[in-house]
Amino acid sequence: MTSKADTPLLAYLGLGSNLGDREANLLDALRRLEIHGIRVVAVSRFFETPPAYVLDQPDFINACAAVEAACSPHDLLKVLLQIEVAMGRVRLIDKGPRVIDLDILLFGDVILASEDLTIPHPAMLERLFVLEPLCEIAMEVFHPVENTTIGELLDELRAVESSD
């Protein structure tokens, strides 16, 4: 892995799977991160969640992981995409069924908007299936754009969801 950072930064990843042995897929992805030199330091519980956006597909298992990454955000994205391909991910339908989905949610206090990567993840604020597992391992972590904690963001989203 190409390294542009001298000191590893703490990044938070979202993981999801709804094809095959979903839990084994998440565990395999975590193992593969370690093989690529990405140290996994914390993992949330696994949450079974109904699909969002494309509803005609199996339920997901979702989780979040805290990782130490001594690389740039783009280099981390390359590793995640390599893992997805190696595990058999095929992108036929946007937000459709997948063996594995790996997303960078936060990368230290980096704010980045490029053609292929946005950090913090732009949709995390509207997804309980991201904020609930993320809150388990990063409740007090600040979202660098919203300038509030992940725990507070989860509370806000739950309030919105319950008023609908």
Fold type of domain 9-122? Alpha-Beta Plaits (3.30.70)
90-139 pLDDT, tens per residue?
Answer: 877 788 799 999 999 999 999 999 999 999 999 999 999 999 999 999 99
pTM reported for the whole predicted model: 0.93
d(CA 81, CA 79): 5
Burial of 31 (0-12, 13-18, 19+ CB in 10 A): exposed
Half-sphere exposure of 23 (CA within 13 A, CB side): 5
Q: Out of 22, 28, 32, 98, pick the active-site residue.
A: 98
Q: Is 98 a catalytic residue?
A: yes
d(CA 85, CA 34): 16
| Whole-Å CA distances, 104 to 21, 22, 54, 160 | 23, 19, 21, 24
The pLDDT of residue 6: 59
Say what percent of the chain tops pLDDT 70: 96
Q: Where are the domains of the chain?
A: 9-122
Q: Out of 28, 32, 75, 101, pick the active-site residue.
A: 101
Q: Is 103 a catalytic residue?
A: yes
Q: Is 89 a catalytic residue?
A: yes
Q: Out of 103, 109, 127, 155, pick the active-site residue.
A: 103
Q: Grade residue 1 by pLDDT with cuts at 50, 70 and 90.
A: very low
Q: What spatial distance separates the first Cα and last Cα of the chain, rounded to whole Å?
A: 45
Q: Out of 89, 109, 127, 155, pick the active-site residue.
A: 89
Tokens 């008023």: give the residue: 163
